Structure 1
Amino acid sequence: MIRTLKVRLYPNRYMMKVLNKLCDYRRYCWNEGLATWIDMYDLHTIDSTNPRPNVYSVRNELVTNKADWQYQLSARTLQLAISDLGKAWQNFFDKTQLDWGKPRFKSKKAVRQGFKTDRAKIVNGKLCLDKPHGIKTWYDIRINKHEDLSGELKVVSVYRENGKYWASLPFEMAPKSKLLTNQNTAVDVNVGHLNYTGGLINTLPNHLIRLYQRIKLYQKQLAHKRVINGKKANKSNNYIAVRAKLQRDYRKVTNIQHDLIQKFTTKLVTDFDKIVIEDLNIKKMQMSHVASKGLQQSLFGYFRQVLSYKCEWYGKEIVLADKYYPSTQRCSKCGHIKKGSDKITLRGNAKHHTRHNEYICYDCGAVLDRDTNAVANLLSLI
């Protein structure tokens, strides 16, 4: 199995320049490859005797026309960029793919810039990239301490984001298994908290809410500066300082939320053998103006992603409830399902004047907590 670790890189000034050049070179190869692919396809449509473009023909065309400066950079950057471009074209003909669409040209203004290599190694706890021919000065890159740097290293993704450097290290290793507990649970995701049979996990604690309020303030300040100064706004020192504070708080928010999700999912796969969650269409839910920001901040999609791969790692089973399963509207005592004007919404029920966290069954008279009732209904699917 493949286990990917995200690590922070701490390059020196020389290697920082090398990483920046490789990021730019990856973007250059992608754009040149995409332009060549489109031109070759146009020639094929005009004259069918011309071959259809593919990964090998486009790659050979770019290698043949390499300039002198390209030989000072890793050749694997070009090879892997064209390989990814071929996969992007394959996905374009499969409309079931997430974020389906035609491959686009990369912009140098994008927040994240990166490259890939399959020649990297971990030597003495440092990342060693492949050195091009003719380059004498070269250094290993220090990474943050991590205990799981073991296994066969596959294709490494290195990227720069907001002035920081990161690497995704995929290791091929044997799967680990945790002891079976013969216990099952279900997780009901809500805006601001996650409910399961063991209680409640708050995903929006007070210190996180304060960070979001500060982020909102910084966003207003930047928007005001752009309105006043126009295109020259991002050149002022004050604008750059506020933007740095905004990026800093976003990193804090991400670290706090990911830490909460990682610890909670680890607890789930350690204490339980089967875990039931809802198969929610997160993107469609976020398109609505109702609680869309709360959905984004609660990390529903990230929770499912992390839980899925941890269950695969440790040999536990994850059960997906159908997206139309009425876990909130069904009574866990008698099985009665609320319909029409009796349904519970985010604001409760206007007809019966009940709160959003109350579930009152008008068939058997049970009075339950809404989230506890949803967890019980999900648990009944096992």
Structure 2
Amino acid sequence: MEVKFMIKSQKVRLYPNRHMKENLDKLCDYRRFCWNHGLAIWNDMYDLYTIDSTSPRPSAYAVRNELVANKADWQYNLSARTLQLAIADLGKAWKNFLTKAKPDWGKPTFKSKRAPRQGFKTDRAKVVNGKLRLDRPCGAKYWYDIRISKNIDLFGTLRITNIYREDDKYWANFFFDVNLKSKIKTGNNSAVDVNVGHFNYTNGIIRTLPKQLDDLYQQIRFYQKKLAHKRIVNGRKATKSNSYRAMKIKLRNNYHKVAYIQHDLVHKFTTKLVTDYDKIVIEDLSVKDMKMSHVASKGLHRSMFGYFRQLLSYKCRWYGKELILADKYYPSTQRCSKCQHIKTGNDKLTLQGNTNHKTRHNEYVCYNCGLVLDRDKNAVANLLDLI
């Protein structure tokens, strides 16, 4: 059985006391300061390099040395690793921006102190007796191990710890280097046809928008309307009121609940796929190019196509399974799985079905061989033909 070297993460909630909160907040602010200061230096170096090619090319190494050489006295009281890792992440962001293979990746921007999420990274964290231990900054009078919400499975080497604050709650993501064993080969293959609200595969249907989310989305709409009304009536003053902030936190909490439910569904489904099947076929969809009404596009966004593909991709690499991407122009919906006839022109299926032949949106009727089948099952059968 093949063993692979991978990175896995665990997320826990932190329960720091009052003194630790003050120190963690200082590190969060210091991370933002290092990022913004480093980005300003990088922009200046980049502008100078584009004007004069003989000037030194900007890099994380050059920006880091500039920041270290010009450290203020107060910076020596804070962790040096916060600065190092902030500039390392800045270098990765610039590298992704300049990579032509990632055209949708945006240019690095300055961090705002008003952002709801603030955090920092460290590679010197330890888990001791079920608590998180960080390096003591110089000059810190009160420094303790931080209680965490659950026991950490130390199944690998702890590399990076990402600590952040959101809605006055503190969280930590632990990243471990682990050795993963490939899953047992089953000899079975499957295909997944992604749709708004559900995924169809060889063995059934998985709902990505279950009924339990309806109440949450109703609350989200209610809070959105209330917040919009406050902004219209009170203008800029609305965002500074305590009631506005409290309602915004409730809205954000509902979004978190929706995300937790959907992420749990997609994680369980992708794990089932890589456990039960050796080869899996999915469509290479370009979601941004899909032309839909504002109602359908909202359902498309909530169906988490990109997140599903992301999870399935890395889990197939983890466990030695093969992921096959169908070409974005492959006619899985228009092609007959029995006779391979492809619908064209006025015979094409749309989201509403086919008005000329009076067929429903979930019905596939082949006008060549007479096959009548559910359109999603037909699409799954066509994707399976690519194996």
The aligned counterpart of 2:38 is 33
Alpha carbons of 1:95 and 1:46: their partners in 2 closer, same or farther (altered >3 Å)? closer
Is 2:266 aligned against 1:248? no
Residue number in structure 2 paired with 1:205: 210
Distance 2:268 2:312 in 1: 11
The question of 1:276 aligning with 2:281 is answered yes
The Cα of 1:90 is off from its aligned counterpart by 2.6
CA deviations over 1:330-378 (Å, ceiling 9, x no partner): 1111111111111111111111111110000000000000111111111
Deviation at 1:239, TM superposition (A): 1.7
Q: Which amino acid aligns with 1:354?
A: T
Query: In 2, distance between residues paired with 1:101 and 1:220?
Result: 30
Letter in 2 for 1:34: L
Name the structure 1 match of 2:338.
333
Q: 265, 268, 275: which is aligned to 1:260?
A: 265
1:227: how far off? Answer: 0.5
Other structure's SS at 1:16 match: helix
Q: Which residue does the alignment assign to 2:290?
A: 285
Q: Which runs of 4+ in 1 moved over 6 A?
A: 45-49
Instruction: Go from structure 1 to structure 2 and tell me whether the alpha carbon gap of 1:235 and 1:42 turns closer, same or farther (over 3 Å shift).
Output: closer
Instruction: Measure, in 1, the Cα distance between the counterparts of 2:103 and 2:160.
Output: 22
Equivalent position of 2:191 in the other structure: 186
- My pick for the range that moved more, 10-19 or 242-251, is 10-19
Per-residue CA deviations over 1:229-254 (Å, capped at 9, x if unaligned) read 11111232322232222122111111
Partner of 2:3: none
Structure 2 residue ranges without an equivalent (≥5): 1-5
* AA aligned opposite 2:30: Y
Residues 43-70 of structure 1 show CA distances to partners (whole Å, capped at 9, x for unaligned) of 5667777534332332222112222221
1:349 aligns with 2:372: no
Tell me what 2:160 maps to. 155
1:223 to 220, 228, 234: 228
CA spacing shift, 1:48–1:173, aligned 2, 3 Å:
closer
Deviation of residue 12 (structure 1)? 2.3
Paired letter, 1:85: L
Query: What is the CA deviation profile of residues 22-54 of structure 1, one whole-angstrom value per residue up to 9, with x for unaligned ones?
Result: 111111111111222233455566777753433
RMSD over aligned Cα atoms: 2.1
Measured in 2, the distance between the counterparts of 1:297 and 1:90 equals 30
- TM (norm. structure 2) is 0.92
CA distance in 1, matches of 2:45, 2:101: 26
Partner residue in 2 for 1:141: 146
Q: 1:312 aligns with which of 285, 310, 317?
A: 317
Contact 2:130/2:152, CA 8 A, preserved across alignment? no
Structure 1 stretch displaced more, 131-140 or 209-218: 131-140
- Residue 170 of structure 1: SS of its match in structure 2? strand
Query: Could you tell me how far 1:163 is from its partner in structure 2?
Result: 2.8
Secondary structure at the counterpart of residue 181 of structure 2: coil
**Larger CA deviation: 318-327 vs 288-297:** 288-297
2:301 match: 296
Identity %: 70
> In structure 1, how many angstroms separate the alpha carbons of the residues matched to 2:291 and 2:272?
28
Out of 16, 24, 44, the position equivalent to 2:29 is 24
1: distance between equivalents of 2:40 and 2:214?
Answer: 46
Q: Is contact 2:14–2:172 with CA below 8 Å preserved after alignment? A: yes
Q: Match of 1:370? A: 375
Any stretches of 5+ residues in structure 1 without a counterpart?
A: none
Asked whether the 8 Å contact 1:11–1:142 carries over to 2, the reply is yes
Looking at structure 2, the residues matched to 147 and 68 of structure 1 have their Cα atoms a distance apart, in angstroms, of 37
Q: CA deviation at 1:294?
A: 0.6
